[in-house]
Amino acid sequence: MDIGNLSTIVSVLVALSVASERLVEIIKGLSSFLNTENSAPTKERLRRAALQALAILAGIVTALLAHPVIKDVVPGLSSHPTGIVALGLLASGGSGFWNAILGYVLNVKDIKKAEAVAKKTALKT
């Protein structure tokens, strides 16, 4: 896989992740149970589990809604229903995680460019 394609896929996942996080925040704001931490450990575990399930559902819904736009960008992943589910699950990982991954991919891309320039310079001399 080309590093350019990889950075495009990661960028799409970051965008999906941010959108699904917004959806989670909107839904969370409508529910006092989801929006308020609970001092009872059992209820707090239940609340956190519900938030995780909501994040997964929001990721999948966001990927489904974005399918018409991303099918050209990520044709292999988005052409099959399991690909959409996979994109949704990856998007539910959180934008912070995907921003870090995107940073790594961009650094690798910069290193590859620097290596190419160094190789080109070495060939000229």
pLDDT for the residue numbered 4: 58
Is 12 within 8 Å of 70 (Cβ atoms)? Answer: yes
* Annotated domain spans of the chain: 3-124
With a cut of 80, say whether residue 46 has pLDDT above it. yes
For residue 2, give Cα distances in angstroms to 5, 9, 39, 70, 80.
Answer: 5, 11, 49, 18, 22
Q: Write the pLDDT tens digit of every residue in 53-110.
A: 999 999 999 999 988 888 877 776 656 788 888 888 888 877 667 777 778 878 888 8
The average confidence (pLDDT) of the chain is: 84
Is 62 within 8 Å of 21 (Cβ atoms)? Answer: no
Q: What mean pLDDT do residues 19-46 have?
A: 92
The DSSP line for 25-37 is HHHHHT-HHHHS-
Is 55 within 8 Å of 24 (Cβ atoms)? Answer: yes
pLDDT for the residue numbered 102: 75
